[in-house]
């Protein structure tokens, strides 16, 4: 059986450093998802370089006709910004009053130099508006830079493969004994079927 030639399998200082950098970038992206979902836009801001190019311009078209958004309200250029502070502002404007869950999978991170890297993440996100919920599938295409020993996002572009909208279901919480119960203020009937 012929295996691909990956060079020496012996760990070297440069291979260990590259693995460490990849792990630090994974943690950076995890912090980004957590900050977005917890509405911590100050943390979002510091995860980017001051001159980061952040491009969410493909996102608004997926909201036309949903949660009151019309084509006349959409300006894709306003979703393309520079720097972490502006990225935090755009994200806050979009999801401040929305329950969100962001998940990144299958990171493909390549160290491109001593202080640079690029990555591609498969994305699933859920944005729960009062009457409907968006389920998004796509990718984050990113570049990273090492500044003062810390990896930061220097470029981010969100792309979508698919967006599916569905009615928002009433929240269900589990009681201490594991039994389902309705969130405070919701009716006591069970939801069955679509």
Q: Which domains does the chain have, with CATH numbers?
A: 13-168 (3.10.450.50)
Please, where are the H alpha helices in 4-151?
13-37, 41-46, 84-95
pTM of the model: 0.83
Q: What share of the chain is helix, strand, coil (3-state, %, to 5)?
A: 30, 40, 30
The token pair that represents 99 in the structure block: 């329950």
Question: pLDDT tens digits, the chain, 194 residues: what are they?
Answer: 555 555 666 778 888 999 999 999 999 999 999 999 999 999 999 999 999 999 999 999 999 999 989 999 889 999 999 999 999 999 999 999 999 999 999 999 999 999 999 999 999 999 999 999 999 999 999 999 999 999 999 999 999 999 999 999 887 655 666 665 555 444 444 444 44
């Amino acid at each position: 059986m012929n295996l691909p030639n990956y060079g020496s399998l012996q760990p070297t200082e440069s291979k260990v450093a590259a693995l460490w950098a990849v792990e630090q970038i994974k943690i950076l992206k995890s912090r980004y998802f957590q900050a977005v979902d917890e509405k911590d836009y100050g943390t979002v801001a510091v995860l980017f370089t001051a001159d980061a190019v952040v491009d969410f311009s493909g996102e608004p078209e997926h909201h036309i006709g949903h949660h009151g958004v019309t084509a006349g309200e959409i300006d894709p250029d306003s979703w393309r910004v520079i720097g972490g502070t502006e990225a935090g502002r755009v994200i806050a404007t979009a999801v401040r009053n929305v329950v969100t869950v962001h998940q990144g999978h299958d990171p493909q991170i390549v160290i491109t130099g001593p202080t640079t890297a690029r990555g591609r993440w498969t994305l699933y996100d859920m944005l729960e508006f009062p009457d409907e919920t968006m389920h998004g599938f796509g990718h984050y295409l990113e570049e990273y830079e090492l500044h003062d020993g810390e990896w930061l996002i220097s470029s981010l572009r969100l792309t979508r493969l698919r967006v599916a909208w569905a009615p928002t279901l009433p929240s269900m919480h589990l009681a201490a004994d594991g039994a389902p119960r309705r969130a405070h203020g919701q009716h006591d009937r069970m939801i069955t079927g679509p």
